Each structure stands twice: as structure tokens, then as C-alpha cells.
Amino acid sequence: MKYKDEFRNKHEIRKYVDRIGEKAADRSISLMEVCGTHTMAISHYGIRNMMPEYLRLISGPGCPVCVTPNSYIDHAIALAKLDDVIITTFGDMMRVPGSTSSLEHVRSNGADIKIVYSAMNAVEIAEANPLKTVVFLGVGFETTAPTIAASIKVADECKIKNYYVLSAHKVMPPAMESLVLNKKIGIDGFICPGHVSTVIGSLPYSFLAEKYNKACVISGFEPVDICASILMLVEQVTDGNPRIEIQYKRAVKPEGNPAALKMMYDVFEPCDSEWRGIGLIKESGLKIKNEYKGFDAYDAIEVETEPLKELNGCICGDVLQGLKFPYECGLFKTVCTPENPVGACMVSSEGTCAAYYRYENNWT
């Protein structure tokens, strides 16, 4: 990006919006973004309100914290309650509710939980505390998985035996297929995730166009990027020529980042994974390979978790699938707020409910 202002130019945005209106006409088109940063940008810049009446922008499961199920949170909390265990985690995970508690709550009761900015910080904590068991909460999509894989390799090379990862990593293309197969949603095209695509490239999305006739454009994050991507998607839909295009060419290549992909798949392998609100999706997760099983917290540390319980009244599951908007939830902005979040979609800085709460005030 040469100058940020180029990508926030109101005249350029207006030109794209006008062309979208001309191309879409009165045709009903539904486009879904599956990236939390896109969700925030669309709300922040008021892009949804700029679109023609019949063009619907809906948010999907693009927030890794939001799609992490209660069962994982419960497992992390059970580990945190063990003696001589240090839990290390990114900050967004602290307030995500499990069945009856949260990491923030158990830390206030004495659990040793440290917020870190990278998995390598967690390795350093393990090296500095050899008599402690250090568990890193590995939550994220393909964007963060290579860095966490690297932390396991470093721990292995340095013979740090008290470092473990509780993996909840997820991969996006299988989830997108699951969304397409849900006919209640009715998706015509995807604003594909920018950050994920810098790692995996554009090729893994090709089946969406070839098998399911869905338009796909990998977008950048600035308002000009997003409006340009929406126009590209509308042109694909109206021309009847769905395909994979890259709008975010300054960062994404068709082949992705081979070095990052190699690092990720050296340590992890695909597995079935549970997504909040969606359920079990085949080969949508990443588990630690047998070669590195000594670092797998699931295998190495036995815990008993509390009975699984879902939150009454929370519709995060429907919001994550694009079946409902946040303002359709009876808890939204009354009981559930960023200061007092009830559901994961309000907790995370990339959550759909948090985006609507902060930026979108046109709902009734």
C-alpha cells in the first residue's frame, strides 16, 4: 500500500458503489464475508448501507475466537485449575464464556493465566519455568497456525519438555463448503478472507466456483478494496461466470506462502473439528501430528471437564452462519454488551455482534 488515503478515497468508493448499483440492478444477491477484519471494516466504513437495496452483505464465521466451541473453553478452564499449570493465551480468549465460567473468572480465583502476544512468548515462559506445565491455547485459522507450528518446532529443537499446545486451529475452505450446503443461507458469492489467503493462496477456493457455482474474490481490508471486490463479485454473479479472483494482489498470490504452508503441515494435519453454531465439519481443523505428540496438551494432560452447557437466549450460532443479524437477538445491546458479553460474538474484537454494537446503528 503506497498511501493509505488512496484506499479510503471517497470519490473512488462512490464510483464503485454506483457501478455496483448499475450492475446489480434489482437482482437479489447475497454475499458473505468470512473474515473478522472484513466484518469490522464493512461495519466501520458503513459499506452495508452504501449497497443497493437488493444486495445483501452477510457475515459468516470469520472470527476464530467466536467459532471456538464451549467444549474447548471448558477444557482450557479445567487445565487452568490444575496445580503447577500456566495457561498462556491471546487476550481475546480471556472473556469467552464456557459452559459456566471463563478464563478471566478462574484467573480472578487464582489460576495462573498469562496473556501473550505470540506462541514464542509462551515457549520463553516454559523455558523460564521448567518446573511448571505451560499450555498455549492454539486458537486461530491458517494465518496463525504456521507461527504456532514454529513454536512447537523450536521447543522440540531446544528440548523444552514442559511446553504444550491445546490446538483448536481451523481451516476455512471446508467451513465455506458447509455454509454453501446450508440452503437456508443462500450464498451467491464469498468475500474471501485476506489474511488467510496470504498463507493458503487462491487455489483452495477453486472448488466453490467449479462444484457449487459460487463467486469468490479475495479482498483487501480498506473500503476501496472491499467495494472493488463487491463489484467483481456482482459482475461474476450477473454474468453467470463464477470463478476465483484476487483483488488483494498486493499481498496474495495464487500459490500462497509455500514456506508458511510447509511449516504448518510439518507439525499439523487435518482433522474433523467442531465449530460453534455450525457443528462438526469434516477436516476443518488441525491437530498435532504423531511426530510432535509430546507437545499435544490433549494427549499429555488428563483433565475432567464440566458437563457441556449452552447459553440460553444467545444466538451466536445463527449469527455465525449468517442466518440472523445481531439485532435479532433479544440479549443484544441490553443484557449483552462489550463490557458484559454473554456470547463469543460480542467478546472478540472481530466478532459480528461487537461490530454491529460499535458501528451499526440503523437497526430497530
Is residue 287 located within the same domain as residue 353? no
Is residue 65 located within the same domain as residue 142? yes
With respect to residue 364, please indicate whether it lies within any of the assigned structural domains.
no
d(CA 341, CA 48): 24
Final residue of a structural domain among 310, 325, 345: 310
Is residue 287 located within the same domain as residue 144? yes
Is residue 161 located within the same domain as residue 273? yes
What CATH number does residue 259 fall under? 3.40.50.11740
Is residue 295 located within the same domain as residue 322? no
Residue 291: what residue type?
A: E
What is the domain count for the chain? 2
> pTM above 0.85?
yes
Is residue 301 located within the same domain as residue 325? no
What is the residue range of 334's domain? 316-359
Over residues 291-305, mean pLDDT: 96
User: What are the residues facing 215 on neighbouring strands?
Assistant: 189
pLDDT of residue 130: 97
- 85 has pLDDT over 60: yes
With respect to residue 325, please indicate whether it lies within any of the assigned structural domains.
yes
C-alpha cell recorded at residue 223:
473500503
d(CA 142, CA 174): 12
Nearest residue to 55 (alpha-carbon basis) of 20, 77, 29, 73: 29
Q: Looking up cell 519455568, which residue turns up? A: 129
**Of 191-205, 265-279, 334-348, the least confident:** 334-348
Mean pLDDT of the chain: 94
Is residue 167 located within the same domain as residue 196? yes
Residue pLDDT, tens place only, 89-135: 999 999 998 999 999 999 999 999 999 999 999 999 999 999 999 99
With respect to residue 342, please indicate whether it lies within any of the assigned structural domains.
yes
pLDDT of residue 189: 98
